[in-house]
Amino acid sequence: MKQVDCEEVKRNVHEFLHSELQETELEGITSHIANCESCEKHYDIEVVFNQVIQRSCDEAPTDELAERVKQRLREIQDHD
């Protein structure tokens, strides 16, 4: 299994939540989250964030909007 650090978890948490990663990446991130309190909290925030978006939107955002939101989240995370 690939070793994963906190930065990789934060970069890929959205894709992880939507099962958009390869099996080895999923396993590595799952293992890391299970053993890292900081990343577990970050994951929990992303889960809640996704739930709020799903309840608030009747239809999927455009690809452009989704990418802008992901980019802004990454910028915020980089400042933490």
Mean pLDDT, the chain, rounded, equals 86
Claim: this prediction has a pTM higher than 0.85: no
Q: What pLDDT sits at residue 77?
A: 82
Dist. CA 78–CA 62, nearest whole Å: 24
Dist. CA 32–CA 26, nearest whole Å: 10
Q: How many CB atoms lie within 10 A of CB 63?
A: 8
Which residues in the chain show pLDDT less than 70? 1, 58-61, 80
Nearest one of 31, 21, 2 to 11, comparing CA atoms = 21
Dist. CA 14–CA 5, nearest whole Å: 16
Q: What pLDDT sits at residue 56?
A: 77
